[in-house]
Chain A
Amino acid sequence: MSVLEVRSCSIRFGGVQAARDVSLRAGEWEIVGVIGPNGAGKTTTFNIITGFYRPNEGSVWFKGRDVTGLGVHERTALGMGRTFQNVGLVKSATVRENLLTAQHLEAGYSALAGMVGLPSTFVAERRLGQRAEALAGILGLGDLLESRVAGLPYGVLKRIELAAVLATDPDLLLLDEPTSGMGPEEAHAFGATLLELRREFDLTVVMIEHHVPLVAQVCDYVYCLNFGELLAEGTPDQVRSNPEVIRAYLGQEAEEVLEPGDRGVPEVTV
C-alpha cells in the first residue's frame, strides 16, 4: 500500500495553470525524488499534498485515506511532515522552543490544563524537553539549544528545521530542496544522513531536489515535472537519461548531451 498517493491533481491561480493532472506515489519506506526546472510546479504540488492549497481537481490520499479536505495541521496529526524552501521555523524563538513547539501534538495535555498549571503538565514538559534534546543531539545541534534561531547560518537552519519536523513524529517526510546552498560533498553527506534517519525513524520520504548525484544516490523513484505537468517518471537512471527531461533542463536536442565525464564535460547539475 502506498503511503502517499496524489491522484490527478490540478490547480489554477487566476489565469495560470500551476499544476495539471499531476499524479505521484510513494510506497512505504521509499525515497521518492521530485525534480524539474524552476517554476515547474514542484512546491505547488507539495502545497497541495500538505493542504496549503486545495486542488481544483484530483485528490490526495495518505495512508489509504482521502485527505484532500483536511487542513494542514490535521495532516500533520496524521503523520505528514514538511520542510520549506525558505526554512519554516519560528525565527524569534530559540532552537529548544522550536523543537518544543513542534511537539505540539505530542504534548499529552490540553492547552487549558497547561494554562492552569496541573502537576501533570510539569512532568509532560520535562519529557518534551528531553525529547527535544535527544533530537537536537541526533542532528548535532546539542550546543545550540538555547540560541535564537534568527541569525544562525542557513545550513544550520535547515538542520534545525529537520529536527523540528522529526519532532512532529511523521511517517511521511516532504523535503523541499533540503540541500539548497550545499556543495557536492555536503549534499552527499546529507544523503547518508537521510538514509540513516529513514532507518531510525521509519520514514517515507518525498524530496524536491536539484542535486542530480544525490537523487541518484538515495532515490528509489523519481518524478520530473515541467510547466505544472508530469514529464517523466521512473528510476533515477531512467529519468536522467530521458531526452524529454534533458531537453526541459537544457533546451537542447538529446544527441548533444553526452554522458557525464566524457570529454571533460562537467556533470549536469541543475
Chain B
Amino acid sequence: MSLEESVDAPPVVETEAPVAEPIVVEAAPSFRPGPAGWVARGLVMAAAAALVLLFPATRGNVDVHIYTQAVIFAIIGLSLNVLLGYTGQISLGHQAFVGVGAFTSAYMVTVHGQPFVAAVGMAMVVGAVQALLLGIVSLRITGLYFALVTLAYGTMAEESLFNIQKLTGGSAGQPAPKPAGFTTDLRYYYLCLAFLAVVVWVDWRLMKTKGGRALSAVRENPRVAATFGTDVKVYTLMAFVVAGVFAGLGGALLAHNDTFVVRDLFNFQLALVFVIMTVVGGLRNRTGVVIGSAFFALIGKLFDVLFENGLHIPGLKALPKEYAPIVIGPMLLLFTLTRHPGGVGQQVRPLQRWLRGGRFSFKNTHESEVRVSDVRA
C-alpha cells in the first residue's frame, strides 16, 4: 500500500469537521433561575456568611474558642482530604503531623522568640518534611501495609517525638501565646477563618488545575496517569507535601488557640477522629469535609445545647465532653462506610448545585464507595 496520501503531509490542522460520526445525546433542558430564585439563593448565602462571620461576635470567649477549634479542624480535615480523598493514600498517623506542627510553632515562639508568622511558617515546613518522608516510604510500601506504617509512625511520634524535652516541654507542655494584634479570642477566630479561606482557595485551585487532575488520575489508575504524562511518583509526593503543609498550619493554629500545647492531646484517638471527620464529611467534597470537621469539633458544645433544651438520654449526660467525639465518631464512621459512602458531602450536594444556579434535586448525588488506594501491583 503506497503512502501517497501522506507523502506531502500538510502541517497539523485541527479542523472542526468531525472525523467520526457524532454521538448524539439528549441534553438536559438548561435551567435558569428567575429573579426570585436568585434572591432566595442570595439570602441563603448571606445567612451562611452571617452565621460564620457575625454570630461568634455575639458569644463569649469560651464559645469563640471552640468555634476557632472548629475552623482549625476544618483545615486539618482538608489536609487529610488531600491525601485520603484526592490521592487515595491513607494516613492513620495524621495527628503526628499536626502535633509536630503545634510543638514547632510553640517552640519557635517560646524558646526562640520568633514572631508568630515565622513560627507558623516553620510549622508548615516541618509538616511538609515529615509528610515528604512518609511519602517517600509510600512509594515503596503501598496500600494496606502503608496504612500500617502511618499508624506505627503516629504511635511512635506519641511515645518518642513528643517526649523530646526541649521541643515539647515534657509533660508540662509548651506555652504558645497568641500573636500580637490578635490576642483576643474573637480576633484570633477571624485570623483562623482567614487561614481557612486561603486553604480552601488553594484546595479549589488545586483541583481545578493540572495538579489536582493528576492526583485524581493517580488515585484511580496510575498506569493511565503515566500514559497521560503524569510523573506518578512526583505527584504522589506533592500530595503528601501539600497535606503536610496544611496539617502543620493546623497544628500551629491549634497550639496558639489553646495558648498551651500538651503532648497528651496528640494521641491515637485523635488520629482516628481526623480520619472519621474526613470520611464522614465526604471524601473529595470540600464543603462536606469542612462541615464534618467542624461538627466533630463542636460535638461537645452541641450536646450542651441539646441538654439545656431538654434532651434526655439516660447516662449520656454523664459522658464527659472530651469523649463525645470518640463515642459518636466511630458510629458515624461505620454508618457512613456501610450505608452512605458520600458522607455529609453527598447530602450537601443538592444544596450546592442549587446555590450555583441549578435546580434543587436529589438525583445524581450518588457517590461510589469510599475508594482508598489498595495494594497496587
User: Interface residues of A, CB < 8 Å — how many?
Assistant: 68
Q: Is the CB of A104 within 8 A of B224?
A: no
Q: How far is the CB of B36 from chain A (nearest CB, A)?
A: 27
In the complex, per-residue mask of B173-210: 1 if CB is within 8 Å of any chain A CB, else 0:
00000000000000000000000000001100110111
Complex interface: chain B residues within 8 A of A71 (CB) = 226, 231
One digit per residue, 1 when the CB lies within 8 angstroms of any chain B CB and 0 when it does not, for chain A 195-238 equals 11111111000000000000000111000000000000001100
Near A by CB (< 8 A), chain B positions 270-308 give none
Is B231 touching A73 in the complex (CB atoms < 8 A)?
yes
Q: How far is the CA of A90 from the CA of B88 in the complex (A)?
A: 14
**What CA separation (Å) do A169 and B101 show in the bound complex?**
43
Say yes or no for A164: interface residue by CB 8 A criterion.
yes
Instruction: Please tell me if B213 contacts chain A, counting CB pairs below 8 Å.
Output: yes
The chain A residues found within 8 Å of chain B, CB to CB, are 29-30, 50-52, 71-74, 76-77, 81-82, 84, 88-93, 97, 100-105, 107, 109, 111-112, 114-117, 121, 125, 134-135, 137-144, 147, 156, 159, 164-165, 168, 189, 193, 195-202, 218-220, 235-236
Contact A76 B226, beta carbon cutoff 8 Å: yes
Complex contacts, A201 vs chain B, CB 8 Å: 12
Identify B15's interface contact among A100, A101, A200, CB under 8 A.
A200
Interface assignment of B131: CB less than 8 Å from any CB of chain A: no
Could you tell me if A73 and B23 are in contact, using CB atoms closer than 8 angstroms? no
Which B residue's beta carbon lies closest to that of A221?
A: B1
Q: Is the CB of B210 within 8 A of A104?
A: yes
Q: How long is the Cα–Cα vector from A67 to B121 in the complex, in angstroms?
A: 42
How far, in whole Å, are A110 and B329 apart by their CA atoms in the complex? 39
CB pair A140 B209 closer than 8 Å: no
Assuming the A-B contacts A140-B23, A143-B27, A220-B1, are A92 and B220 also in contact, with contact meaning beta carbons closer than 8 angstroms in the complex?
Answer: yes
Task: Return chain B residues, CB-CB under 8 Å to A236.
Answer: 1
Nearest CB in chain B: distance from A233 CB, A: 15
Q: How far is the CA of A119 from the CA of B363 in the complex (A)?
A: 35
**Which partner residue on chain B sits nearest A118 by CB separation?**
B205
Contact surface of B with A, Cβ cutoff 8 Å = 1, 3, 5-6, 9-25, 27, 201-202, 205-206, 208-214, 216-217, 220-221, 223-232, 235, 238, 242, 368
If A77-B229, A193-B19 touch, does A101 touch B214 (CB 8 Å cutoff)?
yes
Chain A residues with Cβ under 8 A from B9's Cβ?
Answer: 29, 199, 202
Q: Chain B CB within 10 Å — which of A92, A134, A165, A195 has the most?
A: A92
By a CB distance below 8 angstroms, the chain B residues around A140 are 18-23
Most buried by B among A90, A134, A220: A90
Q: A93 to chain B: which residues have CB within 8 Å?
A: 213, 216-217, 220
- Chain B nearest Cβ from A114, distance in angstroms: 3
Q: Which residues of B contact A84 (CB under 8 A)?
A: 223-224, 227
**How many angstroms from the CA of A123 to the CA of B143 in the assembled complex?**
37
Q: Are A139 and B228 in contact (CB under 8 A)?
A: no
* 5 A-B residue pairs with CB within 8 Å: A29-B9, A112-B211, A114-B209, A189-B21, A220-B3
Q: Which of B5, B20, B229, B242 contacts A199 (CB 8 A)?
A: B5
User: What is the distance, in angstroms, from A144's C-beta to the closest C-beta of chain B?
Assistant: 6
- Name the A residues within 8 Å of B18 (CB-CB): 137-140, 142
The docked-state distance in angstroms from the alpha carbon of A141 to that of B27 is 13
The reply to whether B211 and A197 contact each other, CB–CB distance below 8 Å, is no
Contact B213 A142 (CB under 8 A): no
Question: Distance in Å from the Cβ of A152 to the closest Cβ of chain B?
Answer: 9
